[in-house]
Amino acid sequence: MKIGKVPETVLKRSILKQIHTKRSEVLLGAGVGEDCAAVHLAEDEVLILSTDPITGTAKDIGELSVQVTANDLASAGAEPFGVLLTALLPPQTEEADIREIMSQVDKICGKLNIQVIGGHTEITRAVTQPVISVTGVGKVKAGHMITTAGAKPGQDIVVTKWIGIEGTSIIAKEKEEKLKEHFPPALVDCAKAFDQWISVVEEGLIAAKMGASAMHDVTEGGILGALWEMAEASRIGLEIDLKAIPIRQETVEICEFFGVNPYGLISSGSMLIAADAGHDLVRALKKEGIPAAVVGKATEGNDRVLVNGEDRSYLERPKTDELYVVLS
């Protein structure tokens, strides 16, 4: 396609016509010539905003871009209701590619009841693969917002689902042919499907209702990065049992194959939560079909200890995500 904004006919036909989910809070949404969106909230509600780009993969980028932003909002205890999309696409992009991305966006928006309220789509030589940046809009009752910095000494540390599921899914899709030369196709296909669990919106809302004091979506840098960030933000220590951290065998196998650490692998779909009654929260999550585990405690001071059987080590500052090691 030609460099610059996509043509108005493409905008109408392959972008705006793909937007089906509508929300009553939205007074002005996406449309030709509209530069802004407008939303209306109740007096006792707070607007929560988050923004994130997807740059590590081009596969399922439409769905992934909305999901990771919805997860950020959920980690604040907020209900996501709107997104603005900025799509930067390389010149070899076809209109069918744009329609497919928007179809993915609309599918996940319908699932999460989120409206696309605006955005920008451009063809540019500045990128060699599609890049989508999403700004998410959510709402939470005044006084009920949750931050990464809210963890307190003595609280339980809970991890939902399994670490590394996003990274495992991306690697399985990007390296499918190579993996199937080494592993049974069923294992690789199972790993590819891990993206079905990438949403943490439900567990975020459940944890917020049960009084969680801190939540953090486990994204780039993996669980080790998320633990460090929560500890730094909250100014606490940690004692974490590595063997208690839930992980799928498919993730272990694929990470061993590529020689990377699954605990440093991007993990959207897993939520890190600090709560007074972690075991009660785990039971409540499991009742709703969401696996979870208490993996340790928040402690006084600055020591962030990782326990692995008889071995004890200290948590280090986050490093480059292991996904980039594999994809490079």
Cβ burial of 127 (10 Å; 0-12, 13-18, 19+) is: middle
What does the pLDDT read at residue 40?
87
What does the pLDDT read at residue 60?
86
The torsion angles phi and psi of 243, rounded to 5 degrees, stand at: -70, -15
What does the pLDDT read at residue 245?
98
For residue 159, CA distances in Å to 214, 215, 232, 292 come to 12, 10, 18, 6
What does the pLDDT read at residue 38?
81
User: Are 129 and 222 within one domain?
Assistant: no
What does the pLDDT read at residue 100?
95
Q: Model confidence at 94, in pLDDT bands (50, 70, 90)?
A: very high
Q: Model confidence at 197, in pLDDT bands (50, 70, 90)?
A: very high
Which of 141, 169, 204 terminates a domain? The answer is: 141
Please give the share of the chain, as a percent, with pLDDT higher than 70: 100
User: Are 158 and 247 within one domain?
Assistant: yes
Higher pLDDT, 188 or 33: 188
User: Are 302 and 186 within one domain?
Assistant: yes
User: Are 136 and 214 within one domain?
Assistant: no
User: Are 177 and 316 within one domain?
Assistant: yes
- What's the pLDDT tens digit per position in 103-146? 999 999 999 999 999 999 999 999 999 999 999 999 999 989 99
Inter-helix orientation angle 95-112/61-74, to 10° = 30
User: Are 135 and 248 within one domain?
Assistant: no
CA atoms within 13 A on the CB side of 253: 14
Which of 92, 107, 141 terminates a domain? The answer is: 141
Q: Model confidence at 228, in pLDDT bands (50, 70, 90)?
A: very high
Domain that holds residue 287: 148-327
What does the pLDDT read at residue 43?
87
Cβ burial of 284 (10 Å; 0-12, 13-18, 19+) is: middle
What does the pLDDT read at residue 138?
95
CATH number of residue 176's parent domain: 3.90.650.10
User: Are 61 and 125 within one domain?
Assistant: yes
For residue 193, pLDDT beyond 80: yes
For residue 194, pLDDT beyond 90: yes
Q: Count the residues in the chain.
A: 328
What does the pLDDT read at residue 3?
86
- What's the pLDDT tens digit per position in 237-292? 999 999 999 999 999 999 999 999 999 999 999 999 999 999 999 999 999 999 99
For residue 208, pLDDT beyond 80: yes
Indicate the pTM of the whole model.
Answer: 0.85
Average pLDDT over residues 60-85: 93
User: Are 152 and 237 within one domain?
Assistant: yes
- What's the pLDDT tens digit per position in 5-61? 888 898 899 988 988 999 999 888 888 877 777 888 888 999 999 998 888 777 789
What does the pLDDT read at residue 57?
73
How many separate domains does the chain show?
2
- Give dist(CA 324, CA 232) in Å, integer: 24
Higher pLDDT, 57 or 177: 177
Tell me the pLDDT of the chain averaged across its residues: 93
CATH number of residue 62's parent domain: 3.30.1330.10
- Give dist(CA 136, CA 127) in Å, integer: 23
User: Are 79 and 172 within one domain?
Assistant: no
What does the pLDDT read at residue 326?
95
User: Are 127 and 177 within one domain?
Assistant: no
User: Are 302 and 174 within one domain?
Assistant: yes
Average pLDDT over residues 210-236: 95
What does the pLDDT read at residue 106?
96
What does the pLDDT read at residue 39?
85
- What's the pLDDT tens digit per position in 116-127? 999 999 999 999
Which of 141, 174, 201 terminates a domain? The answer is: 141
* 211 touches 281 (CB < 8 A): no
User: Are 312 and 238 within one domain?
Assistant: yes
